[in-house]
Structure 1
Amino acid sequence: MSGPRSVLLNPRVLAGWLFADLLAAFVLIVMGSHITAPDPLAAAASPSASASASLPASPSASPSAAPSPSGPPGGLESEPIAIELPNTASVETIRQAIVASGKAQLLQGRRAGMVLTFGKGGLATGNAEAHQVNAKLPAVYPDLFGGNTVFRDFITTRDVTNIEIFLIAR
């Protein structure tokens, strides 16, 4: 059988075509992986003249609104501020616990992006405790916990409720 059909099914011919197809797929993958995105921090440092002429200046713009070197603007700081709340009966007792922790100075003039609350009481009441604390926090410090702050309820087996506050990066 040396007809045209036997030439097309020859293992050497099939291996050649398989190699060519795999090489073409590899080239496409490599070319697609070398796409680079523009650096947003470099673009913010040197705005073009046409962009600055067409956009009005924001009245709330301030020097402290510059992006932080630790990440893009609007991101969260990587280390939370952890505060224990031995008494969560009222807004005032929560405020007093934050002041007593000595961390109120770190929170002054800042915005919380996310708050993780670990409610005492274990499986039985911990989640409800955390939910109640999260409901009170915007009244404790409206400038810190107001707006788009994300609150999450968790439980702890410890005998004290604690919060972890992730601040928005400067």
Structure 2
Amino acid sequence: MNLRVAVTAIAGWLFADLLLAFAIVVLGTQDPPPRPVAQPSPPPRQALERGFVKVTLSVDPDDARAGRQGAVEALRRAIQAKPRLRGRKAGIVLTFGAQNNGGEAFARDVNHLLERADGTLFANVATRDFQLLGASGGEVMLNIYLFYKN
């Protein structure tokens, strides 16, 4: 009986050793995991300055709606009068318009003229239109948020 137990015990150890050898062979023949492909880094985000530049002016609502050059020139003069805006890039412009029958529509009309007034400052700028309360018709107030200088 001792011999029989010894043969059974040896057979179990032999089976375990063969299983271990088989596992090592299988793991050794596996392809290594693929290396992660380098993803292009996203473009750097630009940050806006905390404060804004306030520009106020009067524009004829009819000229703004029609996109006339007089409204564009009025915007250009008001912008050029602010030295802090020279050579800069705006990220967001909040435009407040005063008109008896729809200040938001008037502000939207003014926003459509911004890039014509200064294509560098207002290229691809985000705008919002608001009603300017307590002002007479034709008054416009721009709150211009600039990107930090590079």
What is the root-mean-square deviation in Å for CA atoms of aligned residues?
2.0
Superposition deviation, residue 98 in structure 1? 2.4
Q: Which runs of 4+ in 1 moved over 2 A?
A: none
1:137 to 114, 132, 145: 114
Higher relative contact order (CA 8 A, sep 6+): 2
Match of 2:30 in 1: none
Distance in 1, matches of 2:51 and 2:73, equals 26
8 Å CA contact 1:85, 1:98 repeated in 2: no
Distance in 2, matches of 1:98 and 1:107, equals 7
Superposition deviation, residue 169 in structure 1? 1.3
Match of 2:140 in 1: 161
1:92 to 66, 73, 84: 73
Superposition deviation, residue 156 in structure 1? 0.9
Structure 2 counterpart SS, 1:161: strand
Distance in 1, matches of 2:76 and 2:88, equals 16
Superposition deviation, residue 151 in structure 1? 0.6
Distance in 2, matches of 1:83 and 1:118, equals 10
8 Å CA contact 2:57, 2:141 repeated in 1: yes
Distance in 2, matches of 1:139 and 1:77, equals 24
Q: Going by fraction, where is helix more abundant, 1 or 2?
A: 1
Distance in 2, matches of 1:142 and 1:74, equals 19
Distance in 1, matches of 2:98 and 2:79, equals 17
Match of 1:31 in 2: none
Superposition deviation, residue 84 in structure 1? 0.3
Structure 2 counterpart SS, 1:138: helix
Q: Where in structure 1 are there 5+ consecutive unaligned residues?
A: 1-54, 56-71
Larger Rg: 2
8 Å CA contact 1:73, 1:169 repeated in 2: no
Q: TM-score, normalised by structure 2?
A: 0.58
Identity %: 35
Distance in 1, matches of 2:47 and 2:98, equals 29
Match of 2:26 in 1: none
- The letter for the 1-side match of 2:143 is E
8 Å CA contact 2:79, 2:85 repeated in 1: no
Q: Where in structure 2 are there 5+ consecutive unaligned residues?
A: 1-39, 64-70
- The letter for the 1-side match of 2:77 is Q
